[in-house]
Amino acid sequence: MKRIYVNLKRFDIPRELGGVNTLAPVREWGRRIVEDVRDGVNAYDSSDVKFTVFFPEAHLIPALDAMDSSDSLKAGCQSVFRDDVETGRNFGAFTSNRTAKSMAALGVKEVIIGHCEERNDKKGMLLEAGVTDPAAVNRILNSEVKAAVNSGLSVLYCIGETKEEKEDWKKVLKEQIDIGLMGVDRKDVVIAYEPVWAIGPGKTPPGRDYIQMVAGYIKEVSGGLPVVYGGGLKAENARMLSSIPEVDGGLIALTRFSGDIGFYPEEYLEIVRIYMEGENN
């Protein structure tokens, strides 16, 4: 099965407030995205390809309301808290934190955990507290993954090496997998590989051979988990990525990176089309 994910980050913020949303008023944004892409992705056999959109939390309810249970498109949330309610112990004293069970109660089926932006945020907070142990972030993410899996959520677990870590990429990725997925039932876990050193304006993305090498290594050390490319599935690289046997899909963010920067449903569907046509050739 192929897997195509979208991480919408905070693309709901309108341009007049410094964001990139011109798609719809904020209150209608989640629903509009679902309505504009649903028919396009439902055209694919759901046994062959899985589509998930990770929404900022405020947009999950309208997005879910716009879906039908038979849709190929699913809604996911952007990480979860490392603890959760437990009968007779804690009934929900988690002010400001999004728990996995609260997301499951909404009808959310999937979650993205360990995105490089989340990792960087946690690393920064730990450094403020004087914690320099590089494994600390992975241990926290492990708690998040366990909370998600225990609540019945499927997990897209992101790993990747920074510029400073590139020389030791094998060690870094193996630790992120070994610690982050320690004690986890992995049957509903997919790994997204983010070459953090190559993400951002002016950076040179890795080529086909590098991606294939890394994806093969991840499968080897993870016990054969599905691997998607998290460095940005785009129209420009969709055909190339679909040709790599070790890569099982990709993670999309923005669809337009210049001019009127933003996420546009019609461009998302074009990326999907190119990827799937490449897969079938």
- Residues counted in the chain: 281
Q: Give how far Cα 124 sits from Cα of 10, 79, 133, Å.
A: 20, 17, 12
Cβ distance 272 to 30 under 8 Å?
Answer: no
Measure the CA angle with vertex 31, ends 268 and 73; round to 5°: 55
Cβ distance 92 to 59 under 8 Å?
Answer: no
Stated as kind and residue range, the H or E segment containing 112 is strand 110-113
Query: Catalytic pick from 59, 115, 144, 161?
Result: 115
Query: Catalytic pick from 118, 144, 161, 194?
Result: 194
Judge whether 115 counts as a catalytic residue: yes
CB atoms < 10 A from the CB of 240, how many?
A: 16
Q: Give how far Cα 27 sits from Cα of 2, 182, 188, Å.
A: 31, 39, 32
Judge whether 194 counts as a catalytic residue: yes
* Residues whose CB is less than 8 angstroms from the CB of residue 11 and which lie 6 or more positions away in sequence, other chains included: 19, 20, 21, 254, 262, 263
Active-site residue list: 115, 194
